[in-house]
Amino acid sequence: MNSIEIITKKKNKLELTKEEIAFMVNEYVSGNIPDYQMSAFLMAIVCNGMTIEETIHLTDIMIQSGETIDLSEINGKIVDKHSTGGIGDKTTLVLAPLVASCGVRVAKMSGRGLGVTGGTIDKLESIAGFQVEATKEKFIEQVNTIGVAIMSQTGNIAPADKKIYALRDVSGTTESIPLIASSIMSKKIASGADAIVLDVKVGSGALMKTIEDARSLAHTMITIGAHYGKPVKCVLTNMNEPLGYAVGNGIEVIESIETLKGNGPTDLEELVLTLGSLMVSIALDCTKEKAIHMLKENLQNGKGYEKLKELVTYQKGDMNQIEQDPYISIKSPKSGFITKIDANQIGEVVKRLGAGRMQKEDSIDYGVGICLSVKVGDFVLENEELVRVHFDGQDISMQEILDCFTFSQDAPEKEPLILEVIE
């Protein structure tokens, strides 16, 4: 068995055996297959796809490349949540404490980001003193004590995926449903949850640009979950404009706090309630209607916010000290309805400000970001504020930011946030 024969077989659209896939993955992780050959293999998968059997094999091989976490010492059913990533996606920061306030155990292992802004862990580190590292024993102890923990994912969960993901990021092989599905599901299954709720983003600011591709990804991940006896539910959500108003790290944490106080953006609240209702109904074996009622009640009575404070305090953070750079206000050049806010372009501007990483070794500026003052469908007057740009001396192009907005004299038809729920 050799790598060139396997690459050629996939190039010719033939189905690979588990042994052939394992050879490519394990030999690459061991350093015996060079980057250029693995890149060719990944590109063959991007061009020709994989069967569901091949995708399950790839998932299993990546799970077996590292350790799996046993969460059986945590009382109650563990339901994990994962997002495929989007602009302004701070959902976990609101969702985890709110769901935990309803009596559900939330054991969340999150990652850092190579993309537009940091991942959940990076956002939390914008809170002064917040500790994201813990032993497995301390992690389980915290969940059993206060009901929720958000920790950095251990480096030995699916290490094969970690190495392959880094190569995909620099070789133009990120947009492949089998590669995305196996990457997500290998980490989720290895992390020990009993069930998984997935937020699959669709649109200009997401990996999945069409709802057809998003459905395909969702069904693939549901099938993989079923193979491992893990119920998986997917929510397809609109990412044609940023989620909420804040896009950055520290400013997203601040927006999350305001949401738990009952003052958040309606779209972020809607998404949290949709995902949360699935998590609570699975964990507590109740109807989604009852779950939504519990979640709404704990948003209004402050229990969700109190649980966030408990979480931050337990992990040594200080919510009175969250990084946020000074801002300048950019005004509208004309009057009219906002018909489009280019989520992808907003994300690129924020990344260049320093909120995200170009390479995994890069440091993040937690205080920079863009906070929108308007959403699609709003009417603005000339010289009314469009955005606030938080930065600390970086060069910015006001015109580039203004180009993210499209104006019209006619009110647009508002797109729904929740496109589909696949159970």
Task: Report the catalytic residues.
Answer: 82, 161, 168, 183, 187
DSSP string, 12-30: TTPPPPHHHHHHHHHHHHT
DSSP string, 234-296: EEEEE-SS-SSSEEESHHHHHHHHHHHTT-S-HHHHHHHHHHHHHHHHHHHT--HHHHHHHHH
CA distance 53 to 7: 18
Amino acid letter, residue 307 = K
Which pair of tokens denotes residue 246? 């804040």
CA distance 248 to 353: 9
β-pairing verdict for 79-83 and 195-202: parallel
E strand segments, 136-269: 148-152, 195-202, 232-238, 246-248
Handedness of CA 106, 137, 122, 343 (dihedral sign): negative
Contact at 8 Å (CB) between 302 and 370?
A: no
CA distance 255 to 246: 7
Q: CB atoms < 10 A from the CB of 121, how many?
A: 21
Q: CB atoms < 10 A from the CB of 326, how many?
A: 11
Which pair of tokens denotes residue 308? 């966030």
Contact at 8 Å (CB) between 174 and 168?
A: yes
CA distance 206 to 204: 6
β-pairing verdict for 232-238 and 195-202: parallel
CA distance 245 to 322: 17
